[in-house]
Structures are given as C-alpha cells and as structure tokens.
Amino acid sequence: MTARTLHAIVNPAAAGGRLKTKWEPVADYFHHQGIAVCPHFTREGREAAALAKTLIEAGERDLAAAGGDGTAFEVINGILSSGAAGSVRFGILPLGTGNSFLRDFDIRDWRTAAARIVAGKTRPIDVGRVTWPVDGSRPPLYFHNMLGLGLMAEACRLRHVRFGFMGRYAYHAAFFNQLMIMKNRPATLCLEGGKEFPVRVPLLAVCNSQFTGHDMRLSPHSRVDDGRFDLLYAENISPLEILKLFLQLPQGTHLRHPKVRVAPFSEGEIEMKEPGYIMMDGEVIEAQRIRVEVLPGALQVMV
C-alpha cells in the first residue's frame, strides 16, 4: 500500500528564524505515524502561494502550512487560486509567532495540530475573498481569519518593520505605539447591497474566526462555517476607551461597551476616505476601497 504523503510548505523565517531548527521533531512525528512528509522550504516572501499552486497542479492533494498566520495565508491563497480547493486537504502546523486561527479549534501546539492532520478528517470552513480595486483589475486575495483596517492594519505594519524582535508581543507593542496617535477616520460602508452609510472610526475588523494576535478574542460570536462575517467597529471613541477595550480582548468582554457595534454580513464594500493599509491574516497591503465577500465552505481543513 502506498504511504500517504504530506507536502509541508515551511517558512524557515517563522518564529524569529528558529523554525528550521524545530522542523526535525515535526518530521519525525509524522514518520512514526506512517506518513511521509515532503518539506518545501520557502526562500522569500510570497513564494508559499506559488508553491502551493504548483503542487496542486501537479496532482498533490495533502498540503500543510508550517509557520505562523502569514504562512497559512499564503498557502491558502495558492490553494484558492488553483481552482481545485474543494479537493485539497489542508493542515496548519503552528510553528510561528502568531497562530490565532487554530485557537477556535482548541489547538495551541504543533503536536495537537499534527495529530489532527494524521487523522485526516476535514472540516469545511468559510474563506473571505477581497477584491482590490473593486473593478477586479488585480487578482483577488483570500483570508481565513480576519481583515483589519485603520489602527489594526497600521499596528500590523509596524509590527513587521519595527517590533518583530519581540515575538508574540510584537503586535501588542506596535498597537500601543499607534494608540498614541490614533484618529477617528471617516469611512463608508455598504453591506449586503444596501445603502452606503458613513462612519468615523479608528479601526474596522472583519472577522471570520474568533481570535487574533495570538490570544485576543476579538469576535467571540464568530463561527468559521456559518457563511457570514462579523464586522466590528466603534465610532468616535477615545484612545483611553480603546485601551480599556484592548485589555478586555482576551476575555471577549469588550462587546459590552456601548460604542462597540457588530454587524453580521456576507458581502459588502468598505472605503476609507484616505488611502491606507489593510491587514489580512497578518499580511499588509495598501488600499483605499475593497470589496469583501464570504465563500462558504471553500476550504477543507484538517482540524
């Protein structure tokens, strides 16, 4: 009988560059479970998406992302752009700094994640498709965890360029840095094809799953398979109020604040008055207006 082969796309720069030294026990684990692991180490950014697409086009159907949220984001984009996502079994090995998505499935370490991959049972999860510009002149991008604008995206960008050495606390440091200069910025929302309505917010979050930033339960009511997103925002809020909400995120009690709004939706457009940054699963792009829509059950994940 032919042994099962798992193709793992590995980001050696994850976990502050320590992942490559941590890979051997992971490979040994799968070997002892009778699974042949074929690692594909990336050498530069954006390579993981191309690797995933190439493997699928070659007929491979068992893929895993080994790294953090950014590595999973890239591999998922490769899977979705291949046109064969429904036939691919996808696993995530949390070996990076941030691994928020797996918290929804009570997976906090690579051994638990690996055991789920060995079992091979998949669960369909929703994926977000982002079109930018909205005229579709660029290929869409896909996210599985969350999308953030304003303060969230600015902090994520700063995390990469200035605070990366702080590991899992890098985002917290960047967030507090940006908190001191935050502004309530004008934006326009149009959800479910309805009327446009203006808001003034320091940040917007489109959530598919509950957690972000490792331990922050940003959207406690989100479910990865309900065919919708939860849009979270708070209008005309002060830095002090944002700080108090931030400290409540691990418990998810921030939703009790009278200024916090949650709007479930499945498709819509978001436009910031001024160009800025958008964060998807830890990856940052520059954009001003985007279209977001849910693709129900688009990804088969081994969790």
| Beta strand residue intervals within 20-59, DSSP E | 35-41
Is pLDDT larger for residue 264 or for residue 163? 264
Query: What mean pLDDT do residues 88-116 have?
Result: 92
Supply the pLDDT for residue 15. Answer: 60
Residue with tokens 């799953």: 209
Task: Compute the mean pLDDT over every residue in the chain, rounded to the nearest whole number.
Answer: 92
Supply the pLDDT for residue 290. Answer: 97
Over the stretch 209-243, which tens digit does the pLDDT of each residue have? 999 876 789 999 999 999 999 999 999 999 999 99
Supply the pLDDT for residue 164. Answer: 73
Over the stretch 21-43, which tens digit does the pLDDT of each residue have? 788 999 999 999 999 999 999 98
**Using CA atoms, how far apart are residues 144 and 225, in angstroms rounded to an integer?**
11
Supply the pLDDT for residue 288. Answer: 94
4: left (phi over 0), alpha (psi -120 to 50) or beta: beta
Domains of the chain: 4-121 (3.40.50.10330), 128-296 (2.60.200.40)
Query: What mean pLDDT do residues 174-178 have?
Result: 84
Supply the pLDDT for residue 1. Answer: 43
Which H or E run includes 77? Answer: helix 69-82
In this structure, what token pair is assigned to residue 170?
């890098």
Which H or E run includes 31? Answer: helix 19-32
Residue 92: exposure state from Cβ atoms within 10 A (0-12, 13-18, ≥19): buried
The answer to whether 177 and 158 have CB atoms below 8 angstroms apart is yes
Supply the pLDDT for residue 287. Answer: 94
Q: Name the band, by pLDDT with cuts 50, 70 and 90, for residue 202.
A: very high
Q: Name the band, by pLDDT with cuts 50, 70 and 90, for residue 17.
A: low
Per residue in 52-80, is it b (16+ CB within 10 Å) or e — as a string? bbebbeeeeebbbbbbbbbbbbbbbbbbb
**Using CA atoms, how far apart are residues 40 and 27, in angstroms rounded to an integer?**
12
Supply the pLDDT for residue 160. Answer: 76
**Using CA atoms, how far apart are residues 60 and 82, in angstroms rounded to an integer?**
12
Query: CB under 8 Å to 263, separation ≥6 — which residues?
Result: 191, 230, 231, 233
Supply the pLDDT for residue 27. Answer: 94
Q: Name the band, by pLDDT with cuts 50, 70 and 90, for residue 109.
A: very high
Over the stretch 126-173, which tens digit does the pLDDT of each residue have? 999 999 998 889 999 999 999 999 998 998 888 877 887 777 777 778
